[in-house]
Chains A and B, each alone.
Chain A
Amino acid sequence: MSPILEAGGFSAWFGRQPALSDITLEVVDHEILGIIGPAGSGKTTFLRSVNRLNDLAPDFRREGTIRFRQVDIYRGDVDLAVLRRKLGMVFAVPVPLPGSIYHNLMLGPRLNKTRGDRNALVEKTLQAAYLWDEVKDRLHQSAFALSGGQQQRLCLARTLMMEPDVLLLDEPCSGLDPISTAKIEEALVQLKRELTVILVTNNVMQASRVADRTAFFLQGRLIECGATRQIFVTPAEKETHEYVSGRFG
């Protein structure tokens, strides 16, 4: 299978501060790639480089390439709006926007000017995010009335409304209770039939539960990347072994 995303010698800096050094990594279609590593290891920076959200930081600088379906996403003629719709992102902290649940879900279609009748898609994405049963009777109530876990699943559904090819998840369960976490994990496993998932997580066990392959980042470097089972059972590098067995991080 040809990779859907591939980073080649990708390095990044914020000002003079190096954030990523020489990352070479492939993501295969319809897999869940877990990215683990301690805080400050560059996981999030990598994720935000993939949909070019780092471009918002004025002092961001990078070298090397990231290819999405063989196209360098940092090429000058890439339409950022299109790119970011194909690479949908869910943030660490749930970011419901002010307004109703329905209003939130329609964010993508509104921006994309594809309004029309999206009710079927609304139900489908809410089902996929394991949220439909909880909100189907109150789609027009404020999104702020939802619990944190529900808000995060709403954000997942909102991203799915754009029908992305790749789902970028930045520690999506960091503030959630175990039940909400389980629901999101179930959703991801179901979703990988339709799309590719990159899951950045602080929770090593989460990667071991849902990821097909796992990459271990440390201090801006990719230490190793392989089948999740291999990373957890027979890691090639000493640091990986120490991290997954909980000795540091």
Chain B
Amino acid sequence: MKRWIKFVGLGFTTLTGLACLIIVAMLVLILGNVVIHGGPRLSWEFVSGEPRAGMTEGGIFPAIFGTVALVLLMTLAVVPLGVAAAIYLHEYARQGSQLVHLVRLALHNLAGVPAIVFGMFGLGFFIKFVGSGVDRAFFRGQLTFAQPCILWAALTLAVLTLPTVVVATEEALRAVPRSYREAAYAAGATRWQVVQHVVLPQSVAGILTGTILAVSRGAGEVAPIMFTGAAYYLPYLPKKLNDQFMELGYHIYVLTTQSPDVEATKPILYATVLLLLALTFALNLVAILVRSSIRRKLRGA
């Protein structure tokens, strides 16, 4: 009997360990494959140049630039909105009220909507509805904003990443000890002052975590921007909010499926994937560094 139990225990240890091993192995496989095939193709020219010769030569700078611009715009939109919503939900709304329930339900469902649906939503809502409205109202009906562009793509991504930011922010707000709030209230703080002086400074690190997650998610999504602003090939960089743009994820899709010469684009494809991974990683790293420096500042004086 005892031996049998030991055997089962050993079996479970092996199985669970194996599961972890498979996770690591998959990551190593993906990364290794990408690095081996894409690494040699990386060069300064590749990072800084434009695609040439039907995308079989040259670089991918427009796509890098477009990705960074897109993610920045998205962050500008999603963080204020998400943080404000989370503050209302956690600090102002009466807990357990119908409204809070409804908003939470909406958030959970939003988080479960497939990315391609967000793409269609962006096309229908932002471009066809909002964009046309803006054009009619401000540009005498001239086609300005009723077309795919970086603004609508960024906003579509913002809708997609909104649940991430709200949930992470709420988590951060919840982590602020009740005693801090009470101390502030007892010192004569109004509700807004409690939020402003105690709750928000304490939650910055958590809010940044949410932003990091949103950024990494947003930087990697292709489906939402396919119809809302990403371009197949553009010889220039986006300069205005209603310009189209190239984006790394979409560029990978294009290289994979639309290339006239699959073999010739293969090294470029690998290098692009490597760059997208590196860029996402770099964005994450920056956010993590900012977060840890804020944490350190909070803990110290």
- Interface residues, chain A, with chain B CB atoms under 8 Å away: 51, 53, 56, 58, 80-85, 88-89, 91, 93, 95, 97-100, 103, 107-108, 110-112, 140-142, 144, 155, 158-159, 162
Contact with A along B191-202 (1 / 0, CB 8 A): 001000110011
Q: Are A108 and B185 in contact (CB under 8 A)?
A: no
Chain B positions 166-216 with a Cβ under 8 Å from a chain A Cβ: 179-190, 193, 197-198, 201-202
B300 within 8 A of A: yes
Decide yes or no: A81 and B188 within 8 Å by CB, A91-B179, A100-B301 being known contacts. Answer: yes
Closest to B301 in A: A100
- Interface residues, chain B, with chain A CB atoms under 8 Å away: 94-95, 179-190, 193, 197-198, 201-202, 298-301
> Least Cβ distance of B66 to chain A in Å?
40
Instruction: Rank and list the top 10 A-B pairs by shortest CB-CB distance, nearest first.
Output: A85-B188, A100-B301, A89-B186, A81-B188, A95-B183, A84-B188, A95-B179, A111-B189, A98-B298, A108-B187
Decide yes or no: A159 and B187 within 8 Å by CB, A93-B179, A97-B198 being known contacts. Answer: yes
CA–CA, A88 to B188, complex, Å? Answer: 9
Since A51-B186, A84-B185 are in contact, a sample of 11 more A-B pairs with Cβ atoms closer than 8 Å, ordered by chain A residue number, is A56-B182, A58-B94, A81-B189, A82-B188, A85-B187, A95-B179, A111-B189, A112-B188, A142-B299, A144-B299, A158-B187
Residues of chain B contacted by A100 (CB below 8 angstroms): 301
Decide yes or no: A140 and B187 within 8 Å by CB, A93-B179, A98-B202 being known contacts. Answer: no
Q: Are B179 and A107 in contact (CB under 8 A)?
A: no
Q: Are A141 and B179 in contact (CB under 8 A)?
A: no
Closest to A92 in B: B179
Residues of chain A contacted by B185 (CB below 8 angstroms): 53, 56, 84
Q: Are B186 and A53 in contact (CB under 8 A)?
A: yes
Residues of chain B contacted by A107 (CB below 8 angstroms): 183-184, 187, 197
Residues of chain A contacted by B299 (CB below 8 angstroms): 98, 142, 144
* Among candidates A103, A111, A140, A141, residue contacting B188 with C-beta atoms closer than 8 Å: A111
CA–CA, A155 to B187, complex, Å? Answer: 11
> Least Cβ distance of B200 to chain A in Å?
12
Q: Are B182 and A53 in contact (CB under 8 A)?
A: yes
> Least Cβ distance of B101 to chain A in Å?
16
* Among candidates B179, B187, B201, B301, residue contacting A162 with C-beta atoms closer than 8 Å: B187
Decide yes or no: A84 and B94 within 8 Å by CB, A110-B197, A140-B301, A144-B299 being known contacts. Answer: no
> Least Cβ distance of A158 to chain B in Å?
7
Q: Are A97 and B188 in contact (CB under 8 A)?
A: no
CA–CA, A158 to B95, complex, Å? Answer: 31
> Least Cβ distance of A39 to chain B in Å?
19
> Least Cβ distance of B256 to chain A in Å?
49
Q: Are B300 and A111 in contact (CB under 8 A)?
A: no
Residues of chain B contacted by A142 (CB below 8 angstroms): 299-301
Closest to A155 in B: B183
Q: Are A84 and B301 in contact (CB under 8 A)?
A: no
Q: Are B189 and A97 in contact (CB under 8 A)?
A: no
CA–CA, A89 to B185, complex, Å? Answer: 10
> Least Cβ distance of B245 to chain A in Å?
41
